[in-house]
């Protein structure tokens, strides 16, 4: 947790008073809050689409210690969303360019560069030096490492992920709260999957990274935590930009209910189902029309909350087993949570390779 003793020794310079004058006058921040920000040690794992807006807003807010871990070099294709960089940075290491840009934003910020990938060998030592860990990665293998080490070290884990126009964030391991593995259990075998396969808009990563930075600042300042024990899911191109909350509840023994893996089936099992069944394909119309499993109908996931969709599903479930499918298991799990909340029994068809 945050080191309160060190905070008492923190002093703000005259320049910092000027830089953060508009923040210091806020009731929820003040001088002590600004000192808390300067005293905080935050690790950002991944200096890409999510990591860039996180770094910018933490640095400009006055966070005093930022660690950056990334082994990649900047590519031209990164520039649409990795807003710290420009064409002159291409082929440079991200952590090197990021440090230079952050120092321009906040010269008092101490930057610790980790120019390598997080793994099982180095994770314990690295994470032990920070108060809060921000997940700005794009793969499940690294997230399971973050989850495990944050739990061992009692570190707060701020999760974010983006796919196309959809994003999600959550706070894990906060005050005995839920963990990442409670959302996507290791048994789902997601480690070899990558979350950034289908294209992405820079504004989507910018929005998600900004939300991660907001939650970080709220924790540092001790403000109300609104993302504890649920996953916040949203789509930036919906007309109303509606946000959905998927709660992870505790059972009677005060243990967090994990996802029910018993309802996940594989394609080979479809032929063994003797009763009638219908498959709801959650992908976009274009992907569905190109190729789909037999006995499938197309209901894109963005239409899942519509009352007409629920009435349609309830009608078909009377005479058919309901199976949902998407080419990404994480999206199927989101739809599954929604169906569970409405009391609709169903199966999940594991993504077909």
The pLDDT of 131-153, averaged and rounded, is: 94
- pLDDT tens string 219-261: 999 987 656 677 787 778 765 555 666 666 544 444 544 444 4
**Does residue 270 sit in the same domain as residue 177?**
no
Q: pLDDT class for 66, splitting at 50, 70, 90?
A: very high
197 falls within a domain: yes
pLDDT digits (tens, 9 = 90+) for 49-61: 999 999 999 999 9
Determine the Cα–Cα distance for residues 300 and 305; give it in Å rounded to an integer: 11
Query: In this structure, is residue 167 part of a structural domain?
Result: yes
> Is position 124 within any domain?
yes
Q: Establish if 308 belongs to a structural domain.
A: yes
Nearest Cα residue to 79 out of 94, 64, 67, 68: 94
Clarify whether residues 195 and 113 are in a common domain: yes
31 in a structural domain: no
Note whether 50 and 151 are same-domain residues.
Answer: yes
- For residue 307, the domain's CATH number is 3.40.250.10
The residue from 218, 247, 276 where one domain ends is 247
Listed range (23-27, 125-129, 175-179) with the worst mean pLDDT:
175-179
Q: Could you tell me the two tokens for 279?
A: 């498959």
172/91 same-domain check: yes
Buried-exposed string 84-108: b where 16+ CB fall within 10 A, e elsewhere:
bbeeebeeebbbbbbbebbeeebee
Domain boundary among 247, 277, 295: 247
Say whether pLDDT at 173 is over 80: yes
Alpha carbon distance 262, 352 (integer Å): 18
**179: confidence class by pLDDT, cuts 50, 70, 90:** confident
Please choose, from the candidates 223, 222, 210, 226, the residue with its C-alpha nearest in 3D space to the C-alpha of residue 61: 210
Q: Provide the pLDDT for residue 261.
A: 47
Q: What is the mean pLDDT of residues 5-27?
A: 87
We report the CATH number of the domain holding residue 133 as: 3.40.50.720
* Domain shared by 243 and 289, yes or no: no
User: Is residue 101 within 8 Å of residue 68, measured between CB atoms?
Assistant: no
Let me know whether 190 and 338 are in one domain.
no
Structural domain that includes position 335: 261-349
Q: Are residues 210 and 278 in the same domain?
A: no
Q: Considering the domain boundaries, does residue 4 fall inside one?
A: no
Q: What is the mean pLDDT of residues 288-308?
A: 82
Q: Does residue 6 form part of some domain?
A: no
pLDDT at 295: 81
Tokens of 106: 């906040």
Residue 162 and residue 220 in one domain: yes
Q: Is residue 28 part of a domain?
A: no
pLDDT digits (tens, 9 = 90+) for 311-346: 888 887 777 778 889 887 777 887 887 787 777 888
Q: Which pLDDT score is estimated for 94? A: 97
pLDDT of residue 18: 94
Rounded CA gap, 95 and 47, in Å? 7
Are both 234 and 300 inside the same structural domain? no
How high is the pLDDT of residue 54?
Answer: 98
Are 154 and 126 part of one and the same domain? yes
232 and 295 assigned to the same domain: no
Q: What is the pLDDT of residues 155-164, one digit of tens each?
A: 999 999 988 7
Query: Considering its fold, how many domains does the chain have in total?
Result: 2
Q: Which long-range contacts (CB under 8 A, 24 or more apart) does 13-19 make?
A: 13/108, 16/62, 16/108, 19/62
pLDDT tens, residue by residue, 275-296: 688 888 998 888 889 888 888 8
Judge if 166 and 85 occupy the same domain. Answer: yes
From the list 167, 155, 162, 134, the residue with the least C-alpha distance to 59 is: 134
Question: What is the rounded distance in angstroms from the CA atom of residue 281 to the CA atom of residue 38?
Answer: 48
């Amino acid at each position: 947790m945050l080191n309160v003793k060190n905070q008492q020794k923190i002093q703000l310079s005259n320049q910092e008073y000027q830089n953060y004058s508009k923040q210091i006058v806020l009731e929820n921040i003040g001088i002590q809050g600004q000192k808390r920000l300067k005293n905080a040690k935050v690790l950002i794992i991944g200096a890409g689409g999510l990591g860039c807006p996180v770094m910018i807003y933490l640095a400009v807010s006055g966070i005093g210690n930022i660690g950056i871990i990334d082994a990649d070099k900047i590519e031209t294709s990164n520039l649409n969303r990795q807003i710290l960089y420009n064409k002159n940075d291409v082929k440079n290491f991200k952590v090197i360019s990021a440090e230079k840009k952050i120092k321009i934003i906040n010269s008092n910020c101490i930057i610790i560069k980790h120019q390598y990938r997080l793994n099982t060998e180095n994770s314990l030592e690295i994470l032990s030096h920070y108060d809060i860990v921000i997940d700005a990665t794009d793969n499940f293998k690294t997230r399971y490492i973050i989850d495990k080490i944050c739990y061992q070290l009692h570190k707060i884990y701020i999760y974010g992920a983006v796919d196309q126009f959809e994003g999600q964030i959550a706070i894990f391991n906060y005050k005995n709260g839920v963990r990442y593995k409670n959302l996507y259990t290791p048994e789902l075998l997601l480690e070899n999957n990558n979350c950034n396969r289908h294209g992405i808009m820079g504004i989507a990563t910018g929005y998600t990274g900004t939300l991660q930075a907001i939650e970080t600042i709220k924790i540092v300042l001790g403000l109300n935590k609104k993302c504890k024990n649920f996953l916040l899911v949203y789509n930036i191109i919906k007309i109303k930009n509606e946000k959905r909350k998927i709660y992870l509840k505790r059972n009677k023994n005060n243990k967090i209910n994990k996802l029910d893996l018993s309802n996940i089936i594989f394609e080979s099992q479809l032929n063994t189902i003797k009763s009638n069944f219908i498959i709801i394909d959650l992908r976009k119309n274009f992907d569905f029309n190109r190729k789909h499993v037999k006995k499938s109908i197309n209901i894109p996931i963005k239409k899942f909350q519509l009352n007409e969709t629920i009435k349609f599903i309830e009608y078909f479930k009377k005479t058919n087993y309901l199976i949902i499918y998407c080419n990404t298991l994480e999206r199927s799990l989101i739809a599954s949570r929604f169906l569970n909340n409405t009391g609709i029994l169903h199966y999940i068809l594991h993504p077909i390779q």
